[in-house]
Amino acid sequence: MAAAKVAPAVVNISNVSTVQGYFGLMVGKSVGCGTIIDPDGTILTCAHVVVDPQGPRTVFKRKVDVTLQDGRVFEGTVLNADFQSDIAVVKIKSKTALPTANFGSSSKLQPGDWVIALGCPLFLQNTITAGIVSCVDRKSSDLGLGGARREYLQTDCSINEGNSGGPLVNLDGEVVGINIMKVADAAGLSFAVPIDSVIKIVEQFRQNGRVVRPWLGLKMLDLNNMVIEQLKERDVSFPDVTKGVLVPVVTPGSPGEHAGFRPGDVVIEFDGKPVGSIKEIIDLMENKVGVPIKVLVKRARNQAKILTVVPEEAKPSF
């Protein structure tokens, strides 16, 4: 059974924090889940489970209580937390090897696939719910979330308080996502961070101690046939393209402005590869902060221009 494969690696995480309230110091407790991904006690969870989103976001060596499925309780140390993705890593020390979960591939998921969510909703440990994948690339903007563009897995698994940080698994018992939230007062609307993205975040934790994100200072928009037709109706000089990424806004003083980008440019190639979506651009410049990148754009009346842009590290946005 898929759930049985991963259940021993699912843990309960309790975070007790003291914050300054209106009437003085107040003690709060948050409860969530995590997944052991290494026998040495490395645990994946959500940042909001281990760090109070309303309080100071001090991460280094923050302590949490971790309860295993067999009832053992450990003191956990928060090693890293990235608030933009809501992913964190906790470490516990055990004298014996711990059970672990295996990763699957979220890129192989399709709408309609069955998935299973494991966690501790409402303090009920070892709770399992099942559902289907509703969408494999739900954009953060669709959910009204600000900050950088992110994509989530949308499922109809029942997710409640305490499920955050728990694994979303496929029918092979492989972790394909980390459950992070549900839509309040709406049944069947739950979201998870795709495991392919989580793996990259964990690797950046190991290499840099944080997630380094490139920034161009460009507002971008995916183009499709309908949008292209509408833009041509408004402006007959709009370039003849079948796909690409429109740049409607260039931030003053940004790497994009320094490279010569103009509002109205359509990105056709990025780093020598054809692009048709913002996601493709983000993927291509993922590890290229400070590295010059050639970009082919088309402008009004089909004027082609090759620009060289040097991404900077983005400032954290919470």
- Report the Cα 59 to chain-centroid distance in Å: 18
Give mean pLDDT, residues 300-307: 96
Distance CA 133, CA 137 (A): 10
End-to-end CA distance of the chain: 39
Distance CA 108, CA 236 (A): 41
Per the prediction, the chain carries an average pLDDT of: 88
Q: Where in the chain is the domain with CATH 2.40.10.10?
A: 8-91, 106-208
pLDDT in tens, 259-273: 999 999 999 999 999
Give mean pLDDT, residues 211-218: 94
- CATH top-level class of 8-91: mainly beta
pTM score, two decimals? 0.83
- Report the Cα 130 to chain-centroid distance in Å: 22
The whole-number pLDDT of residue 53 equals 57
- Give the burial class of 117: count Cβ atoms within 10 A of its Cβ; 0-12 exposed, 13-18 middle, 19 or more buried: buried
Burial 64-99 (b: 16+ CB within 10 A, else e): bbbbbbeeeebebbbbbbbbbbbbbbbbbeeeeebb
pLDDT in tens, 54-112: 555 555 568 999 999 999 999 999 999 998 899 999 999 999 999 999 999 999 999 99
CB atoms closer than 10 angstroms to residue 9: 23
Tokens coding 22: 């209106």
Q: Where in the chain is the domain with CATH 2.30.42.10?
A: 214-313
Assess whether pLDDT exceeds 70 at residue 183: no
Positions annotated as catalytic residues are 48, 86, 164
Of 291 and 31, the one with more pLDDT: 291
Architecture of domain 214-313: Roll (2.30)
Q: Where does 106-208 sit in CATH, by number?
A: 2.40.10.10
pLDDT in tens, 132-180: 999 998 887 666 665 566 889 999 998 877 789 999 999 999 999 999 9
